[in-house]
Amino acid sequence: MELLHQPGDAIAQRYQIVNTLGQGGIGITYEAIDLHSNQRVALKELSFRRVSQWKVLELFEREAKILSHLNHPSIPRYLDYFQVDTPEDCRFYLVQELAEGRSLSSLVESGWRGKESEVRRLAVQVLEILTYLQEFAPPVIHRDIKPQNIIQREDGQIFLVDFGAVQDTYRQTVTGGSTVIGTYGYMAPEQFRGQAYPSTDLYGLGATLLFLLTHRSTVDLPQHRLKIDFRSQVEISDEFADWLETMLEPVPEDRFSSAKDALANLRGEHTITVQKRRKPAGSRIVLQNTGQRLVVEIPPSGWQFQNISWLGFALIWSGFLFFWTAGAIAVGAYLFFPLLSIPFWIVGLGMLGGVLFSVAGRTRLEIDRENFRLQWKLFAFSHQIRGRTQDIDRVDLCSNFEVNNKPVMACTIVEGVRTHSFGSWLAQSEKEWLREELTNYLGKKLS
């Protein structure tokens, strides 16, 4: 990204540029001097001319709004927010106190490798900051905890910077935000789905601490059963390794529920406790987990209002296609015109089959240490796929089709280049519960 200012430039006749501190996805940050107070500040700039999406400006304005409400000694204080208009551009500026020191990333690049005691001390300081942020209503979620955004002063004081990815819980979980924001290698798995929770920042902190101990990003470390296999890469106590493993759990509910809980456990104030999603009330899914074997049985849903409405729609769709195709043939149309209806027939029959299966079909999934089997059964007809459990990469919620321009999610087993979806007609809470149970089983029972 081309710099918009050079050392010596004055912004708004008040802030004189000293040098460039860094460039991110939504702006350039400079070190500057406030000519009114002679104070050194961090000046973050966003050029409207260079903005490709309105989302970028929204994030920049949200960062300024959030920072204006924060008051913590380890978060550089908000000072000013303004814009400068020119005939060619409109530029927005966010001014904060300058966090003196070096980023953890810079320290590692210079050869520093943290010992367990030092890494614990850093973890405590960052968790105290996150605890403060999570006490807001709704909680403030940073979403980009990484070594570059944690500054350490010479006396050991820690600062958390760059709130450009900040998000609040209500906006994300209630409106179902879908924007993927964060840094690869430090992003929690749920961020790839556009979701963020208080435990999301804990994953980023865990990945950062692991980087300090290994000098390697999590993407460069071995993985086993969806989890980062780091124990062979570090020399730390089993107690701290257990704590770090909980911070890095791929499922949000398996991590500590909050920074406060993670901090208390790190200090030895209580044992590890994590939230676990319960089976949704009223669900007819049968799940049996013996540790050695997991079996999931999804019974037919029967005739429900949703099924009846979809059956009516599918019949109307198919009926229209029948008369259209028959009419084209009756008037002697070229073969090309009836052939045009084939893709629509496929969609219609697919809808009829889907509705019929949701009403009367059964799904059964079996997984053990060696193999897995997924079976669909409708009356006397059945179909199944088999595979090796060790080939399962992950279990996710994915969409294979849309209804009224809205994606319909299904539980999906990702096996190398193959994917196997099931349960698209289940309630969303049932799909999320199933995904968690399957991920838990693959990640813990088979490790």
Domain spans, the chain: 10-97, 102-266, 286-300+361-445, 305-357
Burial of 211 (0-12, 13-18, 19+ CB in 10 A): buried
Amino acid 23: pLDDT: 74
CB 131 within 8 A of CB 118: no
Catalytic residue ranges = 144
Return the higher-pLDDT residue of 338 and 201.
201
Question: Residue type for 211, please?
Answer: F
Return the higher-pLDDT residue of 400 and 214.
214
Return the higher-pLDDT residue of 255 and 342.
255
Residue 406 has pLDDT above 60, yes or no: yes
Amino acid 357: pLDDT: 61
Amino acid 273: pLDDT: 46
Please state, rounded to an integer, the average pLDDT across all residues of the chain.
81
pLDDT over 70 for what percent of the chain? 76
Residue 446 has pLDDT above 50, yes or no: no
Amino acid 94: pLDDT: 92
Residue 158 has pLDDT above 90, yes or no: yes
Question: Residue type for 136, please?
Answer: F
Amino acid 307: pLDDT: 52
Amino acid 194: pLDDT: 80
Label residue 426 by pLDDT band (50, 70, 90). confident
Q: For the residues 101-108, what does the mean pLDDT come to?
A: 93
Q: Domain 286-300+361-445 belongs to what topology?
A: PH-domain like (2.30.29)
Q: Tell me the pLDDT tens digit for each residue of 338-386.
A: 566 666 656 555 555 666 666 678 899 999 888 999 999 987 888 999 9
Label residue 172 by pLDDT band (50, 70, 90). very low
Report the greatest alpha carbon distance in the chain: 88
For the record, the structure tokens of 159 come out as 């600062």
Residue 276 has pLDDT above 60, yes or no: no
Least confident of 29-33, 273-277, 350-354: 273-277
Q: Report the distance separating Cα 133 and Cα 151, nearest Å.
A: 17
Q: Domain 102-266 belongs to what topology?
A: Transferase(Phosphotransferase); domain 1 (1.10.510)
- CATH code: domain 10-97 is 3.30.200.20
